[in-house]
Chain A
Amino acid sequence: MGTIYIDGKPYQADPRQNLLHACLSLGFDLPYFCWHAALGSVGACRQCAVKEFKDEKDTQGKIVMACMTPAKEETRISIHDPEAVAFRAAIVEGMMLNHPHDCPVCDVGGECHLQDMTVMTGHDYRRTRFEKRTFRNQYLGPFVYHEMNRCIQCYRCVRFYREYAGGDDLNVFGIKNAVYFGRSEDGVLENEFAGNLVEICPTGVFTDATLRHHYTRKWDMEMAPSICVHCSAGCNISVGGRYGSLRRVLTRFNSAVNGYFLCDRGRFGYEFVNSELRIRAARLNGKPISADEAGRKLKSLVSSKAIGIGSPRASLEANFALRRLVGKDRFFAGVAEDESRLITAMVEILQTGPARSPSLHDIELSDAVLILGEDVTNSAPRMALSLRQSVLQQPLAIADKLHIPSWMDSAVRDVVQDAKGPLFIAAAGATRLDDVATGTYRAAPEDVARLGFAVAHEIDSNAPEVSDLPAEIAELARIVAGALKSAKRPLVISGFSCRSESVIQSAANVAKALCDAGRPAALSLIAPECNSVGLALMEARPLSEACELAHSGHAEIGTLIVLENDLYRRMPATQAHTLLESAEHLVVLDHLANQTTAKAELLLPAGTFAESDGTMVSSEGRAQRFFSVFAQEGDVRESWRWLGDPAWSTLDDALAAMAEALPQMAPAVAAAPSSKFRMAGAKIPRESHRYSGLTSIRANISVAEPKPPDDPDSALAYSMEGSPNQPPGALQPFFWSPGWNSIQAVNKFQSEVGGPLRGGDPGVRLFEPKQGGTYFTEVPAPFARREGEWLIVPIEHIFGSEELSLQAPAVASLAPGPYLAVNAADTASLQVGAPTGEVEIELGGTKCRLPLKVLPGLPAGIAGIPAGLTPADGAVFPAWSRILRVS
């Protein structure tokens, strides 16, 4: 740190940063547009002008852009200098010449950075009398709504979309005061992170198209800190709702996890909460019953030989409550046996191995990456955005050599040009990160694993060797090993997508080899669902054993309790059917109707993440708490409350019981402060201070305000009243600060701009690396094509493969239909007229007709089907099947 002087007073600032970063970090209100903590400086908008003085004696000074000026030791600036003040007001005036001033009908009115900056600079009168330029808007798809007339030409959108997120269908057109940000023609934005434009845009050019359907102002919403349920990355979200319906999801900044960004599945998947399929009342044999009756019925059913099936999409508390209810020996993991075996293996590797499980932020800073068997953009989407930044880590050295600071974004990109990497991807087919990959290898899971084993052996000869490796793969292994070994922060990524233990083991070997070679490697193992890792820590019995019980006759299973789980997605339909039919009584808790809930004798309405509190464990092993957005309506209750010990009165009690029964889970209790937490004696309000006008909404009935619903489980209140101070990060419902009404207010909550939230980023890591560990030694045999049969592998789709978001209309509209994909040569050999031809496969006894699709890059003999989108969902993958032509 060094000393800089702002308006004559000394302050401490990081000389490696710029003055805007310094001023904002010090709490000054210096307006800006084009700069963004994650995108760096480009000097376009000229809004952050300050006066800089050469030395103490300089009284003239000159205008400089704070974002483009290093905060060097002894820098002297003035924010309040009249010339700088006037210049900043003039910038806003210039931007507002063409802005439509349509705030009352604009979706970001009231949380608009442009409004905030306009007020901040003091510009209040439009001195021009000329016509405004106008644009034609475009249809950009179901997520993002376009209104170009509001544009102030800050270029943030294209910088994020193209340079940060790797998209190429949004661009900048035209010049002068008529620059147009859009696509070359109307159409759905192709990038999986397009939804971030909603937050990146400082005004209302790009707005949340789903929010438009049920429009609510920021100040009309109840908001809660939450965790995304649509994959295992554990992104932190701030969720807003009103009148019992969920209205939108915004990024909840967490510097260690998702930073400023989300993927589009995470941002727009929330609409499932408002789905027609919601289960809102308890039912007994299809007939509505009261919650009390349901509770009594459940109690009576549990007494007769109950077993429970947990869920990777239910909270730790819900799973634990079920486990406690039925007894730990009668609690089964709600996932297929192969999945549970793989995830248990993954967790064990991370708990006992030498490689650290990285946060998304760590991934962003990795300087050499090997991905084995994952299409990250489709399996843990937000992680792919971090990987897109990681490929700049080594090239940054080029800029560093020229003394260009990393925040000087445009200069860095001019210098670095197309230099990227190293990033190597080995997977069954093409992946969405191939465009930034140094090398790709498309192969069957066995061969992916063999490459991994070979890389590990290249790094450390103590690691098992791969025999009979083709020369070009051996060469590739040498190149990859060299790149990883010479990196400072190498990273290996693998996970569940391949359904291959060998692939995961090979990744673990690479990571261990690097650690043993003195390179502190990170190992990220991607789990399939939001709480897959949490469930794996619950010591549940494999689901197959529940099926065995089922086969052994009614006597074994009196009551089967299924927690937030559609078993038809977990096993072949016939097996699911047998299991569900085997129980005398079937109790199902869930929030959306599905094939399993349809069979329930007693159906209990579970709260979604928006109506529950609970804890989930991400792939990183980070336990994080989510909180209900609104009080439950009707008979909806958290699953843990339906199933829990009647003695538990709050979530704290459930957590305490869990910590006692499962000591390894004890740290998860601290994922957020308890329900007793208070700030200056007050709870933390879910509603903003601006909510006030709405309290009179029922004044025609009674002027007495009703008491807000009580929330015994958390330190948050369903109210606008409470502490105005910054709560701990885990309890931060939204970012809002005086003068900062937009999401940019997050500056005011960070220890330094772009850095951790004050008081630390939320979440508790449940596992840390251990020294040593052993190599896995079972190198698989190479993939062998079978005559007349095909290895069917699931292909993950960001939009469609995940169960809950598929019930969100916007997400569902982008999901592919069912298909069976093979490469072009294989298509020809099948003699099916693609793309219209239909084929039939048989998996786990289920016959399935699918349209044939050509997917270039798939290895010969391998066929792909979209995960979660075909009737074959419940099968064990990869699976061999014949492909029959359908005439």
Chain B
Amino acid sequence: MTAEKPLTKDIPADGQALDLTGYERTGGYRGLRKALGNMTPQQVQEEVKNSGLRGRGGAGFPTGVKWSFTPMGTDAPRPKYVIANADEMEPGTFKDRYLMEGNPHQLVDGLILAGYANQADVAYIFIRGEYKVSQERLARAIAEAYSAGYLGKNILNSGYGLEMYLHVSAGRYMCGEETGLLNALEGKRANPRAKPPYPQVSGLWGKPTIVNNVETLANLPHIVEHGAAWFQGLSRTKDSGTKLYGASGKVKRPGLWELPMGTPLREIFEEYAGGMRDGLRFRGVLPGGASTDFLVEQHLDVPMDFTEVAKVGSRLGTGTMIVLDDHTCPVGMTANLIHFFAQESCGWCTPCWSGLNWADHILRAMEDGQGKPGDLEKLEFQTKFWGTGHTFCALAPGAAEPLQSALKYFREDFERHIREERCSFRK
């Protein structure tokens, strides 16, 4: 059976974007027409809830449930907002970029549907600053959508209206956290906000706001068009739909593939990424971006979905794996990641700004041959210190994941760095 690839099948192979005509030819905006013509917002919400779609930004929160908290009806505060989180800054992750560059209308379409389902008045696409091509193509797609009557007042004579803006991020990892994103959009520091209140109730400028990931939104036109049952049938496991999986590192064919949700890690790694380059051995993998725990050989058969990956001690995250080989220093890799997170800490809560910086210092010292006995205990302590519930947001607990698992699976490498006072991977 050839698996369906609703999100990517129409993306031109030549690297160009599908324009409005092209998108419409592939069935684009058909879901929107259906929703506006035959479905109430509640019905769209219901369909999405039934589809079992879970957020593709990394946390996997059910989209329909998220929407169900939006105040609806005439006395709901106005304006309401829907926002596409296109601030893809997770190291090793490049799935949203592919979707936006290849099929920008699919995102616009999905965002309008999210807008309709939540009766939003204004939509923003909050996009990473470095994504220049995506920005150009999305700007064009939004303009095309306006001229075709998919945006603006009274969309397709339905009575529903939505204004859409593209907002280019000034660039911080924290902008990808949904409440940090809201602050950034408001022109404030991209610090996370206290929850509750959740953005659905009080988000942008204090108004009801839905923030969804690009890939999540891209699924909506297909779910609305084909129905919840179809969407559930796409996957191999309980978590429904397809998923964009990626692989980077020293694999034979780094890349990105849309596969049924729940495709085993081994299959993605071996069949699609082609396994390790010749002469290299697999040592471990971060299954879903930099802020997930390392998995090793014994975990390769895990189905890649939100539920199953969690069972083996990691997270599906963004579904884009970073593979570690036996010629790359796991300490160096971890140090690199922790350095990234330490640099990107917003500076709000102490465990994060202080702890990450300390861990960063220790790891860099180890790499420079200046590790000291006791450093590993300090690092272990740190990973708990910034654990879940201890910090204000998920940045530091996410950063703890690769570090705690590296200490578990590659402990000997760390110990050797201290013992030999050097990194043995360096010549």
B-binding residues in A (CB < 8 A): 42-47, 49, 62-64, 68, 87, 90-91, 94-95, 97-98, 127-130, 152-153, 155, 172, 174-179, 398, 402-404, 408, 410-411, 414-417, 419
Q: For the complex, is B346 an interface residue (Cβ under 8 Å from A)?
A: yes
Contact A398–B361 (Cβ < 8 Å): no
* A127 partner residues in chain B, CB cutoff 8 A: 378
Please give the distance in Å from B181's CB to the nearest CB on chain A. 13
Residues of B within 8 A of A176 (CB): 342-347, 353, 356-357
Q: Is B140 an interface residue (CB 8 A)?
A: no
Interface string of B341-364 (1 = CB under 8 A from A): 011111111110111111001000
- Using CB atoms and an 8 Å cutoff, list the residues of chain B in contact with chain A: 172, 189, 193-194, 196-197, 201-202, 205-206, 342-351, 353-358, 361, 365, 372, 378, 381, 385, 389-392
Cα of A177 to Cα of B351 in the assembled complex, Å: 10
Partner of A404, one of B197, B350, B381, B385: B197
Q: When chains A and B are docked, how far (Å) is the Cα of A91 from the Cα of B358?
A: 13
Instruction: Output the least CB separation between B145 and chain A (Å).
Output: 29
B358 touches A415 (CB 8 A): no
- Asked if A90 and B385 sit within 8 Å, CB to CB, the answer is yes
Q: Is the CB of B361 within 8 A of A128?
A: yes
Instruction: Tell me the bound Cα distance from A196 to B172 in angstroms.
Output: 33
Is A415 touching B372 in the complex (CB atoms < 8 A)?
A: no
> B339 to chain A: closest CB distance in Å?
11
Q: Are A97 and B354 interface neighbours, CB within 8 A?
A: yes
Give the nearest-CB partner of B198 in chain A. Answer: A402
Query: For residue B354, which residues in chain A have a CB less than 8 angstroms away from its CB?
Result: 94-95, 97-98, 177
A174 pairs with B347, CB closer than 8 A: yes
Pick from B194, B196, B350 the residue with the most CB of A within 10 Å.
B350
For residue A821, give the distance in angstroms from its CB to the closest CB of chain B.
34
Q: How many Å lie between the Cα of A350 and that of B306 in the bound state?
A: 69
Residue pair B342, A94 in contact (C-beta under 8 Å): no
A129 to B365, CA, bound (A): 10
| Contact present for B194 and A175 (CB under 8 Å) | no
Complex contacts, B378 vs chain A, CB 8 Å: 127
Q: Is the CB of A97 within 8 A of B358?
A: yes
Q: Which of B197, B206, B348, B355 contacts A44 (CB 8 A)?
A: B348
* Measured CA separation A416–B77 after assembly (Å): 13
B170 to chain A, nearest CB (A): 12
Looking at the assembled complex, report how far the CB atom of B179 sits from the nearest CB atom of chain A, in whole angstroms: 8
26 CB < 8 A contacts A-B: A44-B349, A44-B350, A44-B392, A45-B350, A46-B392, A63-B389, A68-B194, A90-B351, A90-B381, A95-B350, A97-B357, A98-B354, A130-B361, A130-B365, A153-B347, A172-B189, A175-B346, A175-B347, A175-B353, A176-B342, A176-B346, A177-B357, A179-B353, A402-B202, A403-B196, A415-B202
Knowing A91-B350, A95-B350 touch, does A417 contact B390 (C-beta < 8 A)?
no
Taking a contact as CB atoms under 8 Å apart, the answer to whether A153 and B350 are in contact is yes
Q: Which of A97, A129, A402, A410 contacts B372 (CB 8 A)?
A: A129
With A43-B349, A44-B392, A178-B347: A410-B385 Cβ-Cβ less than 8 Å: no
Known contacts being A63-B389, A87-B385, A415-B197, is A175 close to B358, with CB within 8 Å? no
Chain A residues, Cβ within 8 Å of B196: 402-404, 411
Q: How far is the CA of A415 from the CA of B199 in the complex (A)?
A: 10
What's the least CB distance linking A587 to chain B, in Å?
A: 62
Which chain B positions have C-beta within 8 A of A49?
390
Contacts of B201 on A, CB cut-off 8 Å? 402
A87 and B390 in contact, given A410-B194, A415-B197 (Cβ under 8 angstroms)? yes
Report the separation of the CA atoms of residues A177 and B359 in the bound assembly, to the nearest whole angstrom.
12
Q: A63-B389, A404-B197 are in contact. Are A130 and B358 (CB under 8 A)?
A: yes
Chain B contacts of A174 at CB under 8 A? 347
In angstroms, Cα B3 to Cα A305, docked, is 113
In the assembled complex, which residues on chain A have CB atoms less than 8 Å from the CB atom of B351? 46, 90-91, 94
Cα A289 to Cα B189 in complex, Å, equals 66
* Contact indicator B345/A175 (Cβ below 8 Å): yes
Alpha-carbon distance between A94 and B346 when the two chains are bound, in angstroms: 16
Q: In the assembly, what is the distance between CA of A410 and CA of B390, in Å? A: 18
Query: Cβ of B361: which chain A residues have Cβ within 8 Å of it?
Result: 128, 130
In the bound complex, CA of A44 to CA of B342 (Å): 17
Q: How far is the CB of A31 from chain B (nearest CB, A)?
A: 12
The 6 closest A-B pairs by CB, nearest first: A94-B354, A179-B347, A177-B357, A130-B361, A417-B206, A411-B194
Cα–Cα, bound, A154→B354 (Å): 12
B355 contacts across to A, CB distance below 8 A: 94
Interface centre among B197, B354, B372, B392 (most CB of A within 10 A): B354
Residue of A nearest to B77 (CB): A398
- Whether A408 contacts B194 in the complex (CB less than 8 A), given A46-B349, A46-B350, A87-B385, comes out as yes
Q: Are B194 and A43 in contact (CB under 8 A)?
A: yes
Known: A94-B354, A152-B350, A402-B202. 13 other contacts (CB 8 A): A42-B194, A46-B391, A46-B392, A49-B390, A63-B389, A91-B350, A95-B354, A127-B378, A128-B361, A402-B201, A410-B193, A411-B196, A415-B197
Q: How far is the CB of A64 from chain B (nearest CB, A)?
A: 7
Shortest distance between the CB of A148 and any CB in chain B (Å): 13
Tell me the smallest distance from the CB of B56 to a CB of chain A, in Å.
Answer: 26
A33 to B244, CA, bound (A): 44
How distant is the Cα of A713 from the Cα of B348 in the complex, in angstroms? 51
Central interface residue in A49, A97, A419, by most chain B CB within 10 Å: A97
Residue of A nearest to B372 (CB): A129
Please determine whether A45 and B353 come into contact, CB atoms closer than 8 angstroms: no
CB of A177 within 8 A of CB of B347, answer yes
B353-A414 in contact (CB<8A):
no
CA distance A68 to B343 in the complex (A): 27
Q: Interface centre among B172, B344, B351, B356, by most A CB within 10 Å? A: B351
What distance in Å separates the Cβ of B368 from its nearest Cβ neighbour in chain A? 12
Chain B contacts for A410, CB-based, 8 A: 193-194
Given contacts A46-B391, A177-B345, contact A153 B353 (CB under 8 A): yes
Residues of A within 8 A of B349 (CB): 43-46
Chain A residues lying within 8 Å of B389, measured Cβ to Cβ, are 62-64
- Identity of the chain B residue whose Cβ is nearest the Cβ of A171 in the assembled complex: B189
Q: Residue on B with the closest CB to A416?
A: B206
With most chain B CB atoms within 10 A of its CB, the pick from A62, A402, A403 is: A402
Which B-chain residue is minimally distant from A155 (CB atoms)? B348
B357 contacts A47, CB within 8 Å?
no
* Least distance between B273 CB and chain A CB atoms (Å): 34
Inter-chain contact A175/B172, CB cutoff 8 Å: yes
